[in-house]
Structure 1
């Protein structure tokens, strides 16, 4: 007798920068969420869709849970709470190279507030840890809760144990038909994906205090008139202060050109044509703390 297909939602939770977005991209098999060494890179609930013979997993990538210092930070935490209340499985992530700390314990305890969801623990970044570290982390993570449905070590970079994770997650999902058509890898709009690609390029190499201050809006995207092989993309990189604008632009515009070159290559892959990318840097003072500015920027 053939088992009924299963489908449902899973989200990864953990401190910022424990590898949640990288894990989602690895599972889906395509870059859906941007990644960066900078904490709090993810700012929206991004859905990636994984189709398997046994069913469909919808992976919801969320911002890392942190102590908010701005209205933006509070809204990101509120978004995580909303997602946690809606998913079938919550997968807690802790990186193998780092000891479990108070932040991890606080997040693991907070999962008591979501009794409907099944809980799984994942030890990430095993490629960057010794076997002793991995074993130590598995023991630490296992001790955080008594109700883990599974505790799985894996590496998103090498793909080690990814199949084990997807099989385990699907087995925990309710029976039901697929939630998205086959071939769909995300419900993100093209405009949102392009804006995120530009923001990822802008985050590379900037100083620690700057990432939180960078937002990107897409002002225009269209095929060039009389040409079906060239897409015009106009976007704004938004920062909070004039000094940050100078950093993003760089000496004689050198840094902004680098950002454009990095972003353009990925956008061309996404849209399937050559791209003319025009970037403008503008200042929106203290936008992370201003409700009106946050609304305009989509938060």
Structure 2
């Protein structure tokens, strides 16, 4: 039984592709959020839970702030804005570039509105050749927002600076009850983690816009007495031509996606998984409010 007496709700925010999900996974110590090198990989707010000493940290991994082009995009931007309310601290994650872009300015304005303490995390420092480059990044952000509670250079991929970051976040913990039980690392249902894992593999295997026009639904999730999990998964895409690409010649692409996903799902679930995958066309689903809500992107 843990001796949790404090909690700290922390929002991790930033533009697409700065490493928010990689940072969340690294701090949790387990892969709970999917990762790809394509923008808008994260669509929903994901809670990552870390118990350390007497404190439970709840990390809110958010979608990257971007200019929305669909109802789904509108929802993602709304999630980011709402995730900066009712938390103890914000972590603004940026790349080591000495320029403050519009997404960062919008997020900092929102943080200012909420009167939130904000830690600037400069990620991907393993890609920086000279320390002078980091100083230029720090100077650029300090000029735009002089009120950072702290500035921490990190590498989510290599783990550099993460202990220092956790030490700083501990300072924002509030006395309060444990919000998530011992052993729980995310608020996502197992079926949601499985669906997101399939979507991650599509982002990995498919080019251009096709994976962004897909949604994944687990329509059956059952466990046998032996512990084996049976999954039925449906992939929705927006065009018949996309369906053909996702399935691939002789079904090779869907086999590859399913095989890669099943491997990760088995690792996450700790048991053998049997998975059947279907692909269905649902035109313009990203602008279909009822469908978006049915997929768990609920605006309420």
Normalized against structure 2, the TM-score is what? 0.92
Q: Secondary structure at the match of 2:235?
A: strand
Q: Note if contact 1:5-1:54 (Cα within 8 Å) is conserved in structure 2.
A: yes
Q: Secondary structure at the match of 1:261?
A: helix
Alpha-carbon deviations, 1:268-294, whole Å to 9, x = none?
Answer: 112222111111011111000111221
Q: Note if contact 2:81-2:110 (Cα within 8 Å) is conserved in structure 1.
A: no
Separation in 2 of the partners of 1:27 and 1:141?
24
Query: CA distance change for structure 1 residues 198 and 215 in 2, over 3 Å: closer, same or farther?
Result: same
1:162 aligns to 2:162 (yes or no): yes
Q: Note if contact 2:98-2:138 (Cα within 8 Å) is conserved in structure 1.
A: no
Alpha-carbon deviations, 1:35-66, whole Å to 9, x = none?
Answer: 11111111111111111115121001111111
Matches within 5 A, 1:191-230: 191-224=191-224, 228-230=226-228
Report the CA distance between 1:109 and its aligned residue: 2.5
Aligned with 1:282 (options 280, 287, 295): 280
Report the CA distance between 1:133 and its aligned residue: 2.5
Larger mean Cα displacement after TM superposition, 162-171 or 239-248: 239-248
1:271 aligns with 269
Q: Note if contact 1:6-1:171 (Cα within 8 Å) is conserved in structure 2.
A: no
Q: Secondary structure at the match of 2:91?
A: strand
How big is the alpha-carbon RMSD for the aligned residues of Structure 1 and Structure 2?
1.7
Report the CA distance between 1:187 and its aligned residue: 1.6
Report the CA distance between 1:104 and its aligned residue: 2.3
Larger mean Cα displacement after TM superposition, 267-276 or 87-96: 267-276
Q: Secondary structure at the match of 2:144?
A: coil
Q: Note if contact 1:94-1:141 (Cα within 8 Å) is conserved in structure 2.
A: no
Separation in 1 of the partners of 2:189 and 2:103?
33
Q: Secondary structure at the match of 2:174?
A: coil
Separation in 2 of the partners of 1:9 and 1:156?
19
Q: Note if contact 1:54-1:170 (Cα within 8 Å) is conserved in structure 2.
A: no
Separation in 2 of the partners of 1:140 and 1:120?
15
1:238 aligns with 236
Separation in 1 of the partners of 2:98 and 2:31?
25
Alpha-carbon deviations, 1:183-223, whole Å to 9, x = none?
Answer: 22112111111111111111113222123211100010113
Alpha-carbon deviations, 1:212-268, whole Å to 9, x = none?
Answer: 2111000101134xx615321110111111111111111111111000110011111
2:120 aligns with 121
Report the CA distance between 1:85 and its aligned residue: 1.1
Report the CA distance between 1:5 and its aligned residue: 4.8
Separation in 2 of the partners of 1:296 and 1:102?
32
- Structure 2 alignment gaps of length 5 or more: none
Matches within 5 A, 1:57-68: 57-68=57-68
